[in-house]
Structure 1
Amino acid sequence: MRIRMIIAMTGAAGLFLTGTANAYPIEDPALTENALYSSGELAATKCAEPPIRNNNRTLVRRYIAGVAKCLDASWGAHFRAAELPFGKPRLQVLNKAPARYCGEKVDRKEDSQLYYCSRSRTMMMQIGRDWLSDVEDLSLLHATGVLYATHLGRLTGIEKAYQDAPYANNNELNEQTRRTNLQDDCLSGVFIRSVWSSLGRKTGDWNELLRVLRKSGDAKGQPRVYGKGTSRAAWTKLGYTTGDPASCNTWTATPAKVA
């Protein structure tokens, strides 16, 4: 089983998805020429952010559920207009992750985590103290968008193609995982652009998100599966700037772009 990890804010998350990948470098058109890239810009939609406060778990739960509904509406309309298959993911917001999720052991040392189970099309967010203590910036909105992007990969065949891609060594596997995770960052940026005018946010909020992302990324001594913080910020900013999933094609990007 190939295990893919994603990161959001201060928590890390495991995406448990099965499979085995086309010659390296990537040549599979399901990745490099996916129909998602020719679907056009994501149309502007309204998304009023639910109220949220630090250390208020009830409001955080409602916030995530509200953002998930916005994601359903925005991406659902986009997929239907592009004649792409669409189905809403399930959502679970938990205080504590189970010992096993989607058939795999969970790292319960993490305070806050994101998981996506491809088999059941379920997004799971474990909300720990680290997320609760600082929730008023755009990080939680972005994190939910990143998790939703993994579901879009499931719908479009990108995730399966990634799972099936061959690799000669761990460095190649890690680079493929970074391409997938950075694509999710970018698609979250596309979504944020589509709802920005209705959020009532200021430019400073956006700049703060980019600052937080630049400080994230792969931890020293850990497998390089997320990308540098600068790469995460760059792909998120690219998605926001263009508002177009076509800009999120990490599979044809140079290795330096997905470092």
Structure 2
Amino acid sequence: MRIRMITAMAGAAGLFLTGTAHAYPIEDPVLTENTLYDSGKLAGTRCAEPPIKNNDRTLVRRYIAGVTKCMDASWGAHFRAAELPFGKPRLRVVNKMPARYCGDDVNLKEDSQLYYCSQSRTMTMQIGRNWLADVDDLSLLHATGALYAAHLTLLTGIEKAYQDAPYANKNELNEQSRRINLQEDCLSGVFIRSVWPSLERGTKDWNELLRILKGSGDVKGRPRTYGKGGNRAAWTKAGYTTGDPASCNTWTATSAKVA
């Protein structure tokens, strides 16, 4: 077992999950031919963003709870229509993470963090200063969507296949971590597309999210487990452009697209 994460940055959130990587070539059909990819476009639903403002922790909590409720409704209807198993994840929003969570040590130095615990099917979000300081962009919505996508990969068997699969070396391990993290970025983009008309946002807001994502990703000196900022933006844009989980099959993508 290992921890994969997206380091928190200004205007963006950190994603911490557990998993192991897959050896080459990637042949497991649960990863490459998952039923999720054949489930069709995510239907449009209404999801007005809850009110939010800088440095208001209560409103940030309500915002996260509100958009998570939208995801429950949207993804729940989608999974049931595709005859995929569905159950809502639990949600916890905390000011500080405990030293250990879901059997793993927690990096207590991170300002804002997201964890998904597959054992309890719980999304946990630590609200740090960087979330509170600048909440006007779409970063928090995207981060919540990516964390929710970790729950979706569990429901569809992708997470288990990823955890059970072997890897030959650290490079393979890191690449497979990038594949699943980028897949979750993409699925967040799918959700954003499905609710976009009701968000009362414009092209400027979307472009700002892509700019923030391009400035995130792997950090020099740390394991390359998240993907380049450009690839994070590209996969998020792919999901948004089509609104279809079929666009989020990172397991058959070339290595360059998940670098």
8 Å CA contact retained: 2:47, 2:195: yes
Q: Write the mapping of 1:80-229 to structure 2, written as runs, cut at 5 A.
A: 80-229=80-229
1:54-109 deviation digits (Å, cap 9, x = unpaired): 00000000000000000000000000000000000000000111111112211100
CA change 1:156–1:232 in 2 (3 A) is same
Between the aligned partners of 2:18 and 2:117, the Cα distance in structure 1 is 6
1:14 paired residue number: 16
| Alignment-mate amino acid for residue 148 of structure 1 | Y
8 Å CA contact retained: 2:12, 2:143: no
State the TM-score, normalized to the length of structure 2: 0.96
8 Å CA contact retained: 1:5, 1:14: yes
Alpha-carbon deviation of 1:12? 2.5
Aligned Cα root-mean-square deviation (Å) = 1.2
3-state DSSP of counterpart to 2:14: strand
Between the aligned partners of 2:195 and 2:23, the Cα distance in structure 1 is 38
8 Å CA contact retained: 1:80, 1:86: yes
Structure 1 runs of 4+ aligned residues shifted over 6 Å read none
Structure 2 gaps, min length 5: none
Structure 1 gaps, min length 5: none
Alpha-carbon deviation of 1:164? 1.3
Alpha-carbon deviation of 1:138? 0.3
| Alignment-mate amino acid for residue 136 of structure 2 | E
State the TM-score, normalized to the length of structure 1: 0.96
| Alignment-mate amino acid for residue 5 of structure 2 | M
Alpha-carbon deviation of 1:123? 0.2
Q: Report % sequence identity.
A: 79
Alpha-carbon deviation of 1:11? 3.8
| Alignment-mate amino acid for residue 75 of structure 2 | W
Paired residues in the alignment total 257
Alpha-carbon deviation of 1:23? 4.6
3-state DSSP of counterpart to 1:65: helix
1:109-167 deviation digits (Å, cap 9, x = unpaired): 00110000000000000001111000111000000000000000000000011111211
8 Å CA contact retained: 2:52, 2:60: yes
Between the aligned partners of 1:226 and 1:173, the Cα distance in structure 2 is 12
